[in-house]
């Protein structure tokens, strides 16, 4: 059996570009700063048909939610319903109305969600150079809350890499690069422009609902973008503010060259401040884009304003 010498992520990314300090020493939203009023108006200008699409997966689905291995799907429980009144234990109010109430227990990253920029790190520093100790007990810096307070609006572009390769879903561990994205964009008749919100469909999350759960999680290795210095520089040059995919981690689980797990989380999010949106359901949007040929649209999103959160659920809305 071959034994690989896997480098530390700091070694792999030793020469990787950083945007630390670009928007000041107190910045907590990173490359979302690229989404200026001009970019918002550019996104609005793509709206021509009045079609809307929501990109969140269902939460608390009795058949299961797609989550990272080791996490559990959201669990919803009723704490007040008709049963309380049937057994004489429901509260009585003036006018005698009745009501239902419930609670949900979940990982904040257990649904379609935004990562906080401080979610991952190396060398004891998170986004913008903040000390990793600021994550103790909750993220005092670069949490998801500033992203929720700011909101995300701009021109989005869907790149359907699965359809481009003639597949319903990419294979486990199947990779692609920024060059593949550009090839697919050309085939679709759309141009990825500077400061676009990049939405990539692999078919992976959609396949969760069509396949056996044990098979979905067996030897878990998602498809996705794979690290290279050239890819990171492309994201930097294009000033991409937000990467949205229909996978749980937005990148191939293990970089096939270095053996490092999830290096793009650090290269793109920790170093460049690019917001990552994961577990998006893109199949209906992709089918519609393939039918009408419009792959650019207004993308809008705002994760829940969870103070100190490492991430938060979101239901992005696309308007064409």
pLDDT tens sequence across 66-88 = 999 999 999 999 999 999 999 99
Strands 224-225 and 175-176: parallel
Provide the pLDDT for residue 5. Answer: 86
For residue 214 the two structure tokens come to 């044990």
Enumerate the domain spans of the chain: 15-70+108-319, 75-105
What pLDDT does 163 receive? 98
pLDDT tier, 2 (very low <50, low <70, confident <90, very high otherwise): very low
Q: Which CATH superfamily is domain 15-70+108-319 in?
A: Putative cyclase (3.50.30.50)
Arithmetic mean of pLDDT, 162-187: 97
Q: What six digits make up the tokens of 126?
A: 């998170």
Q: Are 274 and 250 in contact (CB under 8 A)?
A: no
Which is nearest to 20 in space by CA: 110, 105, 118?
A: 118
Q: Residues 242-288: pLDDT tens digits?
A: 999 999 999 999 999 999 999 999 999 999 999 999 999 999 999 99
């Amino acid at each position: 059996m071959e034994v690989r010498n896997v480098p530390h992520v700091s070694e792999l990314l030793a020469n990787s570009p950083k945007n630390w300090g670009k928007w000041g020493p107190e910045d907590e939203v990173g490359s979302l700063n690229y989404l200026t009023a001009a970019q918002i108006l550019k996104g609005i200008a793509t709206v021509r048909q009045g079609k809307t699409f929501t990109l969140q997966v269902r939460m608390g689905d009795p058949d299961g939610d797609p989550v990272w291995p080791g996490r559990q799907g959201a669990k919803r429980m009723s704490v007040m319903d008709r049963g309380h009144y049937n057994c004489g234990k429901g509260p009585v109010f003036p006018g005698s109305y009745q009501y239902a109430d419930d609670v949900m227990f979940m990982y904040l990253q257990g649904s379609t969600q935004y990562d906080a920029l401080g979610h991952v790190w190396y060398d004891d520093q998170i986004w913008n150079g903040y000390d990793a100790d600021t994550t103790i007990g909750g993220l005092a810096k670069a949490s998801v809350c500033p992203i929720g307070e700011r909101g995300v609006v701009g021109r989005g572009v869907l790149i359907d890499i699965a359809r481009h390769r003639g597949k319903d879903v990419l294979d486990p561990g199947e990779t692609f690069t920024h060059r593949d994205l550009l090839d697919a964009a050309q085939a679709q008749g759309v141009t990825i422009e500077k400061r676009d919100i990049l939405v990539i469909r692999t078919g992976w999350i959609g396949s969760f609902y069509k396949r056996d759960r044990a098979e979905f999680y067996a030897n878990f290795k998602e498809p996705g973008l794979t690290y290279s210095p050239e890819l990171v520089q492309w994201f930097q040059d294009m000033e991409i503010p937000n990467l949205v995919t229909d996978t749980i981690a937005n990148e191939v689980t293990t970089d096939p060259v270095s053996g490092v797990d999830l290096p793009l989380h650090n290269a793109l999010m920790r170093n460049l401040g690019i917001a990552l949106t994961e577990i998006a359901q893109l199949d209906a949007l992709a089918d519609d884009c393939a039918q009408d040929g419009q792959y650019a649209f207004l993308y809008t999103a705002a994760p829940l304003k969870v103070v100190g959160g490492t991430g938060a659920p979101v239901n992005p809305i696309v308007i064409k």
